[in-house]
Amino acid sequence: SISPDSDATGEIMRYEVKSDFASSSQLKTLQNYEIYKELKQTPGVADVSSFGGKVRQYQVIISPESLQAKGVTISQLINALTSANSNTGGGLLPSGEQQFVVRGVGLLRNIEDIKQVVVAINQGVPIRIGDVAKVEIGNAPRLGMFQFNDNPDSVEGIVYLRRGENATEVLARVRNTVENINKQILPPGIEVAPFYDRQVLLDITIGTVKHTLFFGISLVLAVLFFFLGNLRAAAVVAAVIPLALCVSFIQMHLWSVPANLISLGAIDFGVIVDSAVILTENVMRHLEDGGKRLKQSIIIATSEVQRAMIYSTGIIIVAYSPLFFMGGVEGIIFKPMAFTMGFALIAAMILSLTFLPAMISLVFGETMHHKPPGFITRLLNSYKPLLRRWMDRPLTVIAVAVFVLGLTLLSVTRLGTAFLPTLEENNIWLRVSLPNTVDLDYSVKVANQLRETFLRQPEIEKVAVQIGRPDDGTDSTGVFNQEYGLYLKSPDKMPSGSSKKQLITNLEKELKKLPGMTYSFSQYIQDNVNEALSGVKGENSVKIYGTDLVVLDQKAQEVMAQLRKVRGVADEGILKELGQPTLNIQIDRERAARYGINVNEIQTVVANAIGGAAVTNLLEDEKTFGIAVRLNPGSRNDAADIGRLLVDSPNGSAIPLSMVATVQLSDGPFFIYREAGKRYIAIKFSVRNRDLGSAVEDAQHLVSKNITLPPNYSISWDGQFNQMKQAQKKLMLIVPLALLGIFLLLVSAFGNFRDAVIVMINVPFAAIGGVIALHLAGETLSISAFFGFLSLFGIAIQDGVILISFINKTSATGHSEMKDAMVEGASLRVRPVLMTAALSGLGLLPAALSHSIGSEAQRPLALVIVGGMVTTTILTLLVLPVIYGWFRGRSLGQMAKA
């Protein structure tokens, strides 16, 4: 398939070409011809974009008066320049036993060569360009400008990562290239100075992940020792973690699955070692009972749980299966996590059935005897009578559980919804839109004022300003568009008591002092992703499709008025299309035909003399600079002067432009946006201090209620909200299929529908703790949290499988015997259920509590699992046996006799 070589997150480095003495034009030349080619050939770099700086240009400055005085037209001058600037080949010339290549060398080399170009002959006297025009080295018309800190006119370079490359590896190469450029290529006093390096964010985030992993593993070890009461047993179980992860990473490499910070930071070590915990605990229980040698205990314990272990692992993998089918941004982020966990779970299960029994036999020794920790004995002594009392009141227990579940489901509606948690980047990307009619000088004046204001903020370390568009035309905007990169101090250097939220509030106060502008706050990477999602320069957008630009503008004003009524909607603004002052040169085809002048001759005058387009190029060594023919400034700002420009006619006479065209001022469109073959106008907006889902739903309600579109006009909502709805729609299809797959596995494991249904009842109850945790942490129901629920459901079902399997093994047919057997069977699983719950919850507790940079995306997922394990454990140990006993008692007709 054909796709871009880079993507929305591909910008990995920004740098300033810095000097205390060189001009903006000199720095721009170095960027375009030295720095660019060195960075572009660095492996893994897709492209290097330039912004700002003056582009050197050879300019032939003309005036209508001088051309008329000599009887020379603009077309003659342009044709003379292009004809006089070429080399040609004359084939080969034999000479004895040799041959020579024949070359006609006629390239222009300098200003003097340009001046000597003959334009016309008047009575045998050549008229040269130097006779009718001023030739000088100037700068091409500027469509953009870059400022950095105290430098009001600098040059920026942006390095793009090739799609599929490793950012850390490529950045290391880029830094080496930059060092080589500074040492060996650039003149002394000029340097490439990076001011944004993605590796800084990666290092901070990786540090957060390492911290989370370290404490997660430490908690896992502590839990194992606490419940098993044996350090060797804890070490043997913990050894499964690195081995399973090694197998997982090897498989990911073989399958070309990229590892990202989510796939690493959201690894639940407790889930990975569940199989090992179940087997080891069962071995320890047999040793605690006494009467069996170690080898016999291992064989019996393994045979008792291996079927349940295999099915439990399969169930958890199926619970993760929806992640394999996700696309878009959420798929890029979370799919590697599903692969990581899937490979690790399979590896851990195989290791638990092969490596673990051998290690237990080796480490424990044949004569080992073990007693359970004292608290386990005391816990079981309290658990059994409590479970008996609950089983005597099944309807009350079930009613209370259902009531709590109902309250939880009701509270879900108050959580709010969001697409993905925002990754903290430690910067602010501010986009300011001035009135579309402003010129570059005014835009620079505003930028200077804002830049100085931002530099005074104690939280801000660096300020980069982009005005207008880059040189490569990849962002077709005007000089009214300003983008500010506000790079904050590192968290440890931030002023005491300051926050990013408060800083944005302070900046808004400053922005409101300047009338006539709209603005939006985002972050560097986030802004690029949002623009890719919404199709406009904003987090979300409303697009109105139609044919008439005036009607589109009118309806856009109405939509924005409705958006302003919605709590939480911010940064709203219309991407204006109308109101551009335009000097129209309307060609009169009839009059042009009368003089034998074709339209192309007239357009050449417009594009070159007025627009300043380069007509040919001049080579300096390996550098190429344009040669432009332009009217002098005094002659291109007045419609009357432009009307006096001469256009060639076939009979050799020169006709004023005003005789074949009408030159007049009018209003026209700035842009005409099109999508799917239709014109549209966009209204961009953000959502702050409120959840995305409810804010946009309120806005949609107001728009549909109060705005009527003409026939053949339509409206759509794009951006994060649209992506969220698409992801939710896909999940609503995939998740039921995954649950069906889990149910079929349960039927296969138990051999009947009753037990499978009872275990599946655990699924909605497992959500209670996850929902409560999200409420307490102030999080919304994002895609990340949703995936946390999937993982939680798998763990809850696994616990149910292990519990019901043991109850089935110890159950009897008589009522009194059945109840005793159920209590006994459930009590045998108290320790492993508590261990798996503690391991799953505490393994992710550091991620759930972390507020460091890089923890945002994994925190909702971790919160759901940590909170959910609390209620899941209670339900598995107390409610599930009650439900099982009630169902089974009804089926046997014995519960009523009791």
Q: How confident is the model at residue 854 (pLDDT cuts 50, 70, 90)?
A: low
Domain that holds residue 181: 11-55+141-201
How many other CB atoms sit within 10 Å of the CB of residue 341?
24
- For residue 265, what pLDDT is reported? 59
Q: Are 190 and 30 in contact (CB under 8 A)?
A: yes
Same domain, 357 and 459: no
Above 90 in pLDDT, residue 833? no
Same domain, 450 and 503: yes
d(CA 787, CA 782): 9
Tell whether 761 and 773 lie within a shared domain: yes
pLDDT at 260: 63
In a domain, 877, yes or no: yes
Please tell me whether residues 398 and 358 are part of one structural domain.
no
| pLDDT tier, 897 (very low <50, low <70, confident <90, very high otherwise) | very low
Does 758 lie in the same domain as 772?
Answer: yes
Confidence of residue 511 (pLDDT cuts 50, 70, 90): very high
Q: Are residues 480 and 449 in the same domain?
A: yes
Q: What is the pLDDT of residue 622?
A: 86
Domain end position, chosen among 522, 545, 575: 522
CA angle 658/662/665 to nearest 5° reads 120
Helical segments of 811-895, H only: 815-828, 830-843, 845-849, 859-874, 880-892
Residue 815: the pLDDT is 44
Instruction: Look up the pTM and report it.
Output: 0.82
Residue 368, pLDDT above cutoff 80: no
758: CB partners within 8 A, 6+ apart: 800, 804, 880, 883, 884, 887
Domain identity same for 362 and 262: yes
Q: Do 25 and 165 lie in a common domain?
A: yes
Residue 555 placed within a domain: no
Last-in-domain residue among 355, 371, 387: 371
Provide mean pLDDT across the span 836-856.
78
897 domain residue, yes or no: yes
**% of the chain beyond a pLDDT of 70:** 95
Q: What is the CATH number of the domain that holds 398?
A: 1.20.1640.10
Has residue 2 been placed in a domain?
Answer: no
DSSP code, position 564: T
pLDDT in tens, 855-891: 677 789 889 999 999 899 988 899 999 998 888 777 6
Show which of 201, 219, 245 is a domain's final residue: 201
Considering the domain architecture, whether residues 348 and 486 belong to the same structural domain is answered as no
| Mean pLDDT confidence for 457-470 | 95
The CATH number given to whatever domain includes residue 27 is 3.30.70.1320
What is the average pLDDT value for the chain, to the nearest integer? 87
Q: Mean per-residue pLDDT for 53-71?
A: 88
Q: Are residues 379 and 364 in the same domain?
A: no
β 578-587/569-574 pair status: unpaired
Whether 332 maps to a domain, the answer reads: yes
Which of 247-256, 554-563, 630-639 tops mean pLDDT? 554-563
* pLDDT(895) > 50: no
Does position 172 have pLDDT exceeding 90, yes or no? yes
Quote the pLDDT of residue 482.
95
pLDDT of the residue at 179: 97
Q: Is 625 inside any structural domain?
A: no
Rounded CA separation 29/277 (Å): 65
What is the reported pLDDT for 135? Answer: 94
Per-residue confidence (pLDDT) for residue 291, from 0 to 100: 63
- Report d(CA 606, CA 613) in Å as an integer: 9
Q: Considering the domain boundaries, does residue 612 fall inside one?
A: no
Q: For residue 481, what is the domain's CATH number? A: 3.30.70.1430
Q: Are residues 166 and 289 in the same domain?
A: no
What percent of the chain has pLDDT above 90?
40
**Are 388 and 445 members of one domain?**
no
What pLDDT does 183 receive? 95
- pLDDT(7) > 80: no
Least confident span in 158-172, 365-379, 777-791, 794-808? 365-379
State how many domains the chain has: 4
Average pLDDT over residues 475-495: 90
- CA atoms in the 13 A half-sphere facing the CB of 598: 5
- For residue 728, the surrounding DSSP H or E stretch is helix 720-750
Please report whether residue 741 resides in a domain: no
Torsion of CA 533, 539, 544, 546, to 10 degrees: -50
CA-CA distance, 301 to 563, in Å (whole number)?
64
Residue 428's pLDDT is what? 94
Among residues 114, 58, 110, the alpha carbon closest in space to that of 83 is found at: 114
Q: What is the pLDDT, as a whole number, of residue 894?
A: 47
Question: Distance (Å, rounded) from C-alpha 838 to C-alpha 288?
Answer: 22
CB-CB contact of 280 with 360 (8 Å): yes
C-alpha angle 646-647-653 in degrees, rounded to nearest 5: 90
